[in-house]
Copies of this chain bind each other. A is one copy, B any other.
Amino acid sequence: MKNILGANDDLAALNRKMFADSGVVVMNLMGSPGSGKTTLLEQTLTRLADKIRIAVIEGDLFTAKDAERIERAGVDVIQINTAGGCHLDAAMIQKACASLDLAAIDLLIVENVGNLVCPAEFDLGETFKAVVLSITEGDDKPLKYPLIFKESAVTLLNKIDLLPFTNFDVKSARNDLTTLHPSIKIFETSCTLGTGLDAWCAWLLERAAV
């Protein structure tokens, strides 16, 4: 396992240099199955596609369902199928980037496999990680799955429109998140109502413009 992670780190360093050389900011977007990553991505592209040049890499176990959704947003998308594998790794990203003109984009968004555990362990060479937590998953998740929240620059508390129908405690979740990771940025978002999406996109745009 240490050897696998070590080899991955070496490749991730190469990816990171490649992205820096091309002036591309890369976001590794993670979260549980059904946390709402793809819908959030669709909404993000709608808001940012005329402001910066974006491409997407979609990680999935077998299907191209998510990539087809992103393609409809009119953005270049590369599909990676992991054939059952539970995370993306740096080698997959390196290979996918061979099909992208990195010089022609500002922001590359990588949607990882739906999984709150393994993706956090594999550096892809990204500029920063982001994690989507649907509030229907429960407010105990940051402490139960700490690594992914420690590693991520930003957490989106998503599906916030469902708050009245759950026992999710936003204050408790925010406390746990900032205990794990004091500088973490937190957005409360709903893709159904549009809540928080402008603030999230403004933050992302600022990061991508660096």
Interface residues of A (CB under 8 A from B): 32-34, 60-63, 65, 84, 86, 113-118, 121, 134, 136-138, 140-141, 143-147, 159, 161-162, 165
Contact = CB atoms under 8 A, between A and B. Distances in A.
A134 B34 contact: yes
10 contacts: A32-B32, A33-B138, A33-B145, A34-B137, A84-B121, A113-B117, A114-B116, A114-B117, A115-B116, A115-B118
A88 B137 CA distance: 21
Contacts of A143: 62-63, 65
Contacts of A161: 165
Contacts of A121: 84
A159 B136 contact: yes
A141 B33 contact: yes
A144 B140 CA distance: 26
Contacts of A32: 32-34, 114, 116, 137
A143 B140 CA distance: 28
Contacts of A140: 65
B144 A162 contact: no
Contact of A144 (B63, B134, B141): B63
Given A134-B136, A162-B165, A86 B61 contact: no
Given A60-B144, A61-B144, A162-B165, A118 B86 contact: yes
Contacts of A134: 34, 136
